[in-house]
Amino acid sequence: MIFTDTHAHLYDEAFAGEEDQAIARSLEAGVTKIVFPDIDSKTREEMFSIASRHEGTVFPCLGLHPTSIDASWENEMEMLHDRLSHKIWAIGEIGMDCYWSKEYIKEQETAFRMQLELADRLSLPVIIHSRESTELIMNILKDCRHLNLRGVFHAYSGSAETFRELQRLGDWYIGIGGVLTYKKASIAETVKQIPLDRILLETDSPYLTPVPYRGRRNESAHIPFIAEKLSEQTGICIEEIAETTTNNANKLFGL
């Protein structure tokens, strides 16, 4: 079986000096493609460096993460635009985050809208980060219905009803990761109501490690554990899970 990890930060300092080994383990596990969402200028150089060493396996993106937005966010946006000469597969990780801080919430919104417009101009999908900000993001997407938006809601934790509303606002997938394997996780019930052709698999490594490795560093090689749980919850065989979610990723990102 072949899998794709549509959201991994293997360039994070948690993997310092072990990035290539982590990618080798992913390949051994059947995870043959890995999408790298961008965070900000602090890690961007390392991200592109790893991607250049693993061309055809690692697919880098560009974006300013909402938790990286502060008083210097406009400088960060300028640095992002300076890297548009690189081949990228999406604009992301972008969005809004009201969990960590609301100090720069207006700036978050402005940066989010700017990056949605950038994705439209470049005909690229977006990777959306939404934490305690669903209503804000939905309102922005409604305002931006004139844009040709498509993408994925990373680490989806919303309801089936919210998913159906999203489908009226663009071409949206949801990212399902290790949280699916946690006890009492609401997404475990929600996925039963989501069509498989709208689901992408992701790790968000080094975070959100699935059972049975919860508590340890996450990595792309753990995607099969997420797929197994999705199969268990939906009653769809894991072979079909692998094939369909891989096709979904190829379609959305043009991998």
Q: Is residue 251 in a domain?
A: no
Q: Identify the three-state secondary structure at position 153.
A: strand
Residue 194 lies in a domain: yes
Q: How far is Cα 9 from Cα 178, in angstroms, rounded to an integer?
A: 14
CA gap 186, 206 in Å, rounded: 22
Tens digit of each residue's pLDDT (9 = 90 or more) over 32-81:
999 999 999 999 999 999 999 999 999 999 999 999 999 999 999 999 99
Q: Mean pLDDT for the chain?
A: 96
- Whether 250 is covered by a domain: the verdict is no
User: Does the residue 105 lie in any domain?
Assistant: yes
Instruction: Indicate whether 109 belongs to any domain.
Output: yes
Q: Specify the pLDDT at position 91.
A: 98
Report the percent of the chain where pLDDT is more than 90.
95
pLDDT digits 0-9 by tens, 87-113: 999 999 999 999 878 889 999 999 999
Question: Mean pLDDT, to the nearest integer, of 110-118?
Answer: 98
**What is the count of structural domains for the chain?**
1
Helices (H), the chain: 19-28, 41-53, 73-82, 105-122, 134-143, 160-167, 187-190, 223-234, 238-253
The verdict on residue 165 lying in a domain is yes
Task: Determine, yes or no, domain membership for 179.
Answer: yes
What distance, in Å, lies between the first and last C-alpha atoms of the chain?
17
Query: Is 246 domain-assigned?
Result: no
Residues 6+ apart with CB under 8 A from 134: 158, 162
Helices and strands counted in the chain (H then E): 9, 8
CATH code for the domain of 185: 3.20.20.140
Closest among 31, 34, 39 to 12, alpha carbons compared: 39
pTM comes to 0.97
pLDDT, tens digit (0-9, with 9 covering 90-100), for 5-35: 999 999 999 999 999 999 999 999 999 999 9
Closest CA to 227 of 214, 217, 242: 242
- What was the pLDDT predicted at 103? 87
Domain that holds residue 11: 3-216+225-238
Using DSSP, state whether 222 is helix, strand or coil: helix
Rounded Cα distance between 231 and 1, Å, is 14
